[in-house]
């Protein structure tokens, strides 16, 4: 290791820690006047203590204004919601379509792993094509579009002003969809760029950069018009994500720039940043809004939430190379990523304290509120999958789990149990508010939850156990390679069962979504809750 690299390595660590200390100091001494008042930004005057739940309409229980000031706040919020109606509906409906498409590809991939002759003679659905089609459909189609939809809906609420330039976001959604169709068709036709998470041909990637830019325009226009003094923490996360993703996506997809081993580092730096700097901030940001909003209770430590944001930015951006531990890249680089992976415990714990701490005393609400149940389980799984990820980056653990199905289980714990659950919760919350119609069926939401929940538990448990055994067998040079394949088969079959349950839940969810749109749902005078309890806000 050259002295220059040693110096820079030490420097990055010192800068990260220094920045963190500066942040702690600035928050502790209230340099930016963040505190309890900032945490209340998302509430209208007098609203703290009143629950807000999927009741949308003018006569919604929790929404019912109590006096003139309240009336004004509620009307303003309704205007804010309606201003984002078209782009949000476009983004969410597209996301649901990609969720179904992606799930079907995922399920077929899973089945093919233990039934290799299934549809084996059709080139367009060979395992090596549908697996990346699954990943791209759910990551860029479902998760990204649903996340963007929730972000566009949150922007006018957070800034308490109608969305400006909604047309840009709607146009962005359609360009994004065009990119999805062209990208997936390309992979199916065998025109992949060849690197995981970057399979779409770079010519198609240009569409995503354009679409992302279009979706960011309303954010910037609306920020200029904002009517709130404090920027609530959710807007920090959303702004971060919308800045990071275009930069990352553009850089990683530049063609012909990074050859050979350097290409591998860029590949995995990008791939983990899609999780860390794109979907994670969106998911965490949504939960930071939904949990306090539904409970009618500000987050317990607003200052901690800002520490969480900046430490996420500092540490998550440098974890990617833990995908190449033991590989042909410089050791200092791998070590750097391992250190930052472990440091990720800091932002994760701050988020956990805030999300779960705010829930304390209100766990009973999980029984009636669909959004709260989805979002809080998602947040719980964020804590779990992140801590698991920090462990997995340690060399002693990684030597077993690398190259195995264990990693796939971990990825689904993050992308599904954490992120998708929060997005499901957000969709259940948002749809009644932008359409004015309620979800038609309580039972369908219950069924969706339990199918998805049991599915992902089976999925993750099966692959974690199977992957661990596979890893141990791979480390034993005396074990014949085919033994490492045979021993995973029961777990791969269990994974297909879990995947089938999840796919079934998505079909129900998509059907419910369509029913709401086409039949108009129920008039929005009563929220669709799991149980017909009397919401706390009722007077």
Tell me: does residue 194 bind another protein (CB under 8 A). yes
**Residue 391 CB: number of other CB atoms within 10 A?**
16
Stretch in the footprint of another protein (CB under 8 A) among 57-65, 81-89, 136-144, 322-330: 322-330
* Interacting positions 1-40 with another protein (CB under 8 A): 1, 5, 8, 12, 15
Q: Among 367, 382, 393, which Cα is nearest to 416's?
A: 382
Q: Is 195 in the site for another protein (CB under 8 A)?
A: yes
C-alpha span between 226 and 217 (Å, rounded): 15
The structure tokens 């960011």 sit at 216
Q: Considering only residues 20, 64, 104, 264, which one is a binding residue for another protein as defined by CB under 8 A? A: 264
Report whether 428 contacts 445 (CB < 8 A).
yes
Helix 421-435, helix 442-475: angle, nearest 10:
160
Candidates 26, 203, 317, 383; binder of another protein (CB under 8 A) is 317
Q: Does residue 269 bind another protein (CB under 8 A)?
A: yes
**49, 167, 326, 520: which one contacts another protein (CB under 8 A)?**
326
Site for another protein in 62-121 (CB under 8 A): 112-114, 116-117, 120-121
Among 41, 144, 267, 280, binds another protein (CB under 8 A): 267
Decide if 248 contacts 270 (C-beta within 8 A): yes
Q: Rule CB under 8 A: say whether 177 interacts with another protein.
A: no
Place of tokens 């979002």: 375
Residues 139 and 187: beta-carbon distance below 8 Å:
no
Contacts of another protein in 270-299 (CB under 8 A)? 277
Residue among 230 and 365 whose Cβ is closer to another protein: 230
Query: Which of 331, 518, 531, 539 contacts another protein by CB under 8 A?
Result: 331
175 closest CA partner among 137, 214, 216, 134: 214
Return d(Cα 426, Cα 431) in angstroms, integer: 8
Residue 420 binds another protein, judged by CB under 8 A: no
Residues in contact with another protein, counted by CB under 8 A, come to a total of 90
Beta-bridge partners for 522: 438
**x/- site string to another protein, residues 136 to 175, per CB under 8 A?**
----------------------------------------
- Of 202 and 450, the one with the shorter C-beta distance to another protein is 202
Question: Which of 224/531 has CB closer to another protein?
Answer: 224
Neighbouring CB atoms inside 10 A of 490's CB total 13
> Site for another protein (CB under 8 A): which residue of 3, 7, 29, 224?
224
Rounded to the nearest whole angstrom, what is the least distance from the CB of residue 159 to another protein in the complex?
10
333 touches another protein (CB under 8 A): yes
Distances in Å between the Cα of 338 and the Cα atoms of 252, 306, 322 are: 21, 24, 6
Residues 453-512 within binding reach of another protein (CB under 8 A): 474-478, 481-482, 484-486, 489
Tokens of 261: 């081993």
Question: Any contact of residue 247 with another protein (CB under 8 A)?
Answer: yes
Token duo for residue 374: 């989805």
Whose Cβ is closer to another protein: residue 51's or residue 135's?
135
Please list every residue from 337 through 376 that binds another protein, using CB under 8 A: 337
Which of 351-359, 403-411, 447-455, 519-527 is the region at the interface with another protein (rule: CB under 8 A)?
A: 403-411
Q: Which of 89, 146, 329, 426 binds another protein (CB under 8 A)?
A: 329
Residue 191 binds another protein (CB under 8 A): yes
332 sits near another protein (criterion: CB under 8 A)? yes
Q: How many CA atoms lie within 13 A of 468 on its CB side?
A: 9
Residue 510 in contact with residue 427, Cβ under 8 Å?
A: no
Binding range to another protein, per CB under 8 A, among 58-66, 238-246, 365-373, 450-458: 238-246
Binding another protein (rule: CB under 8 A), the pick from 50, 77, 297, 402 is 402
Least Å distance, CB 80 to another protein, is 18
Its sign, for the CA torsion 171, 177, 181, 182, is positive
Within 118-137, which residues bind another protein (CB under 8 A)?
A: 120-123, 126-129, 131-132
3-state secondary structure of 522: strand
Burial (CB count <10 Å: 0-12, 13-18, 19+), residue 189:
exposed
> Nearer to another protein by C-beta: 34 or 512?
34
Kindly state whether residue 213 participates in binding another protein, applying the rule CB under 8 A.
no
Tokens (6 digits) for 121: 């003679």
Q: In this complex, which beta carbon is closest to another protein, that of residue 290 or of residue 312? A: 312
Let me know: does 401 contact 467? Beta carbons within 8 Å.
yes
Choosing from 165, 201, 263, 511, the residue that interacts with another protein (CB under 8 A) is 263
- In the bound state with another protein, the residue whose beta carbon lies nearer, of 167 and 194, is 194
> Mapping DSSP to helix (H, G, I), strand (E, B) and coil, where does residue 195 land?
coil
- Dist CA 463 CA 411 (whole Å): 11
Q: How far is the CB of 475 from another protein (least distance, A)?
A: 5
Residue 318 is a binding residue for another protein (CB under 8 A)? yes
Which candidate, 237, 150, 177, places its Cα nearest to that of 428?
150
- Rounded CA-CA distance 70/326 in Å is 60
Q: How far is the CB of 121 from another protein (least distance, A)?
A: 6
Cβ-proximal residues to 217 (8 Å cutoff; 6+ apart), any chain? 165, 168, 169, 172
* Coil/strand/helix, residue 438: strand
CA distance 353 to 359: 10
């Amino acid at each position: 290791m050259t002295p220059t690299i040693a110096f820079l390595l030490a420097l990055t660590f010192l800068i990260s820690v220094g920045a963190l200390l500066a942040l702690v100091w600035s928050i502790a001494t209230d340099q930016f006047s963040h505190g309890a008042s900032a945490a209340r930004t998302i509430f209208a005057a007098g609203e703290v203590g009143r629950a807000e739940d999927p009741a949308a309409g003018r006569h919604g229980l929790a929404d019912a204004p109590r006096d003139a000031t309240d009336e004004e706040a509620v009307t303003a919020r309704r205007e804010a919601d309606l201003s984002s109606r078209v782009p949000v509906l476009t983004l969410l409906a597209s996301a649901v379509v990609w969720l179904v498409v992606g799930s079907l590809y995922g399920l077929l991939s899973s089945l093919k792993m233990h039934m290799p002759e299934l549809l084996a003679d059709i080139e367009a659905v060979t395992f090596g094509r549908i697996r990346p089609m699954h990943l791209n459909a759910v990551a860029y189609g479902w998760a990204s579009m649903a996340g963007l939809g929730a972000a566009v809906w949150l922007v006018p609420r957070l800034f308490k002003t109608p969305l400006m330039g909604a047309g840009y976001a709607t146009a962005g959604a359609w360009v994004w969809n065009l990119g999805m169709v062209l990208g997936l068709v390309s992979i199916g036709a065998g025109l992949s760029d060849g690197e995981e998470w970057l399979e779409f041909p770079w010519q198609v990637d240009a569409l995503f950069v354009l679409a992302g830019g279009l979706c960011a325009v309303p954010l910037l226009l609306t920020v200029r018009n904002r009517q709130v003094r404090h920027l609530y923490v959710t807007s920090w996360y959303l702004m971060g994500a919308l800045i990071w993703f275009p930069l990352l996506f553009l850089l990683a997809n530049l063609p012909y720039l990074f050859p050979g081993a350097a290409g591998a580092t860029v590949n995995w730096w990008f791939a983990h940043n899609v999780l860390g700097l794109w979907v994670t901030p969106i998911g965490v940001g949504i939960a930071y809004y939904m949990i306090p909003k539904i409970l009618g209770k500000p987050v317990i430590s607003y200052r901690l939430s800002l520490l969480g944001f900046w430490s996420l930015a500092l540490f998550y951006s440098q974890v990617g190379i833990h995908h190449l531990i033991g590989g042909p890249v410089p050791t200092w680089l791998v070590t750097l990523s391992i250190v930052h992976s472990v440091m990720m415990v800091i932002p994760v714990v701050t988020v956990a304290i805030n999300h779960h701490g705010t829930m304390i005393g209100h766990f009973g609400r999980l029984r009636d509120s669909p959004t709260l149940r989805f979002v809080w389980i998602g947040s719980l799984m964020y804590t779990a999958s992140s801590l698991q990820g920090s462990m997995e980056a340690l060399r002693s653990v990684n030597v077993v789990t690398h190259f195995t199905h264990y990693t796939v289980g971990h990825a689904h714990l993050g992308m599904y149990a954490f992120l998708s659950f929060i997005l499901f919760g957000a969709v259940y919350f948002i749809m009644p508010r932008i359409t004015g119609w309620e979800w038609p069926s309580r039972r369908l939401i219950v069924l969706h939850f339990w199918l998805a929940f049991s599915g992902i538990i089976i999925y993750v448990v099966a692959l974690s156990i199977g992957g661990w055994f596979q890893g141990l067998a791979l480390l034993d040079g005396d074990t014949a390679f085919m033994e490492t394949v045979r021993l995973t088969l029961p777990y791969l079959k269990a994974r297909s069962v879990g995947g089938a349950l999840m796919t079934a839940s998505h079909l129900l969810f998509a059907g419910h979504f369509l029913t709401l749109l086409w039949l108009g749902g129920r008039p929005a005078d009563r929220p669709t809750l799991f149980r017909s309890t009397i919401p706390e806000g009722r007077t």
